[in-house]
Amino acid sequence: MTRVRPPLVASLGDPAGVGPELLLKSWTAREEERLAPFAVVGSLSLMKEIAGNVPLASVRGIESIAEAGEIFADALPVLDIGPLPYTPGAPCREGAEVALASLVRATHLAIGGNASALVTGPIAKAELQNVGFAHPGQTEFVAEACDVAAEDAVMMLAGPSLKVVPMTVHVSLASVPALLTQDLIASRIRIAAKALARDFGLANAHIAVAGLNPHAGEQGRMGREEIEVIAPAVEALRAEGLDVVGPLAGDTMFHAAARANYDLAVCMYHDQALIPIKALDFDRGVNVTLGLPIIRTSPDHGTAFSLAGTGRADAGPTIAALRMAAECADRRAEQLA
Ligand SMILES: NC(=O)C1=CN([C@@H]2O[C@H](COP(=O)(O)OP(=O)(O)OC[C@H]3O[C@@H](n4cnc5c(N)ncnc54)[C@H](O)[C@@H]3O)[C@@H](O)[C@H]2O)C=CC1
Ligand SMILES: NCC(=O)COP(=O)(O)O
């Protein structure tokens, strides 16, 4: 007998941002987008209030995530964590506390196997840190909850045109060169290659690695990180049989013909990776954490406070995050069957 996969679970994100309304918009698109059932951990009163502004939206409280599959066709299932007034565009301490409680509960539902994947809503990192969140981002939080070291949880941004992995993430640009080591680069690429095979069906992915400096250092004349750190890491991975090339000049590896040569671009810092993907795929971009025992995705954008409550925010990235989470969960389930 085929076992029915548990529903996905979504955390709310900052209640004053666009996260909650985009989950409602995604639910209204569930049939045309063929979305797998998902439940939201959040404030039922808040979700009901927002649903009033989203055409065709309907929400219903549930006691247990196991109920989500049954009612998903008729309403968006919400695991209630308490009342909260809706203040679109105006983040506050109370809202940040709800965002954090939602993230914690949703993460543990996925870790416990009661949800088949976790989709996190956008949070404002500074707001969450004001209420005791001690991580640079949700990636590191989820990693710790899964007992995975932060350096082994690898952020990938994925869209229809491109997949990118930044080697360093939420750190100052000035600190990047010292953080880049052969071990870090080789280890993160190994984790990414394994996850691409396991969760994305990309066995033997073609991986292109960017340099750090202009023109990938121009043979050492514009910086030596390519010669001393990046090229040796690439060579070590090639010796292990991985299909890795680089370091390539960062400015010329993202045009269409260049992208046709690889499945994944590995970048040295946050903006080197996120600028091309957000330029190409902002409306379908997904942030996914590789190397975890659970599946975790998120829309590629942030809280967009100035759009909250206007009805103008695009649900495309949230829909893509929900769909990718379900596809990865299906792949893992097939591997266990
Ligand atoms: N996954 C997450 O939790 C992320 C959280 N953030 C947080 O979000 C906050 C705001 O960051 P920003 O840099 O302003 O990024 P943002 O992604 O919130 O906004 C950037 C621009 O994109 C627009 N935008 C964002 N989402 C949109 C959507 N769904 N439809 C249409 N337009 C959209 C915004 O209006 C703005 O013009 C920060 O506190 C940051 O920490 C940022 C990125 C990811
Ligand atoms: N720039 C990507 C981003 O901020 C997402 O971070 P995370 O909260 O998913 O770790």
Of 337, 330, 297, 296, residue with least CA distance to 6: 330
Asked whether the beta carbons of 65 and 108 are under 8 A apart, the reply is: no
Kindly state the helix (H) or strand (E) to which residue 210 belongs, with its residue range: strand 206-210
Assembly ipTM: 0.97
Distance separating alpha carbons of residues 318 and 321, to the nearest angstrom: 5
pLDDT at 1: 45
Asked whether the beta carbons of 290 and 199 are under 8 A apart, the reply is: yes
Residuewise pLDDT in 10s, the chain (337 residues):
455 789 999 999 999 999 999 999 999 999 999 999 999 999 999 999 999 999 999 999 999 999 999 999 999 999 999 999 899 999 999 999 999 999 999 999 999 999 999 999 999 999 999 999 999 999 999 999 999 999 999 999 999 999 999 999 999 999 999 999 999 999 999 999 999 999 999 999 999 999 999 999 999 999 999 999 999 999 999 999 999 999 999 999 999 999 999 999 999 999 999 999 999 999 999 999 999 999 999 999 999 999 999 999 999 999 999 999 999 999 999 998 7
HEC readout, 16-38: CCCHHHHHHHHHHCCCCCCCCCE
> 135 among the known binding-site residues?
no
Does residue 247 have a cis bond before it (omega within 30 degrees)?
A: yes
pLDDT at 4: 78
Ligand nearest to the CA of 296: 2
CA 112–ligand 2 middle distance (angstroms): 23
Distance separating alpha carbons of residues 80 and 90, to the nearest angstrom: 22
CA 302–ligand 1 middle distance (angstroms): 3
Of 11, 250, 213, residue with least CA distance to 120: 11
Q: Tell me whether domains 1-151+292-337 and 154-287 share a fold.
A: yes
C-beta of 264 in contact with ligand 1 (< 6 A): no
Distance separating alpha carbons of residues 38 and 110, to the nearest angstrom: 12
Nearest residue by C-alpha to atom 32 in ligand 1: 313
C-beta of 41 in contact with ligand 1 (< 6 A): no
CA 38–ligand 2 middle distance (angstroms): 21
Distance separating alpha carbons of residues 87 and 142, to the nearest angstrom: 27
Q: Where are the domains of the chain?
A: 1-151+292-337, 154-287
C-beta of 125 in contact with ligand 1 (< 6 A): yes
CA 138–ligand 2 middle distance (angstroms): 6
Topology of the domain comprising 1-151+292-337: Isopropylmalate Dehydrogenase (3.40.718)
Give the right CATH number for 154-287 from 3.40.630.10, 3.30.210.10, 3.40.718.10, 3.40.50.970: 3.40.718.10
